[in-house]
Amino acid sequence: MVASYWKIFAKAGKPGWASIVPIYNLVVYLQMVNRPVWWIVLFFVPIVNIVIAIVLVHDLSKSFGKGAGWTLGLLFLGIVFVPVLAFGSDPFVGRPAT
């Protein structure tokens, strides 16, 4: 999983090592999916943190041109879908700014 996230960060044009640095990896992840950095605060609010995590996973799948089905795969079978996303041929297209 570490190698997979390293590769995902690299595909997004971010430094791969950022995926293993706590807190900083969230900052970079939020930049990758075009969400404001202040969303880190929402991870400290119970229940809201679960919703935010799901939104961010969906944003990541959209950043690779995938849909809701891929989001469900990332959520429930991440051990399979994250490496496929990382090492597959799908390019990082980014998520449009909101």
pLDDT of 43: 92
30: amino acid identity, one letter: L
CB 60 within 8 A of CB 74: yes
The DSSP output letter for 46 is T
Asked if 82 and 9 count as a contact pair (C-beta separation under 8 A), the reply is no
Q: Is the pLDDT of residue 98 over 80?
A: no
Q: Residues 26-76: pLDDT tens digits?
A: 999 999 999 999 999 999 999 999 999 999 999 999 999 999 999 999 999
Model-level pTM greater than 0.85? yes
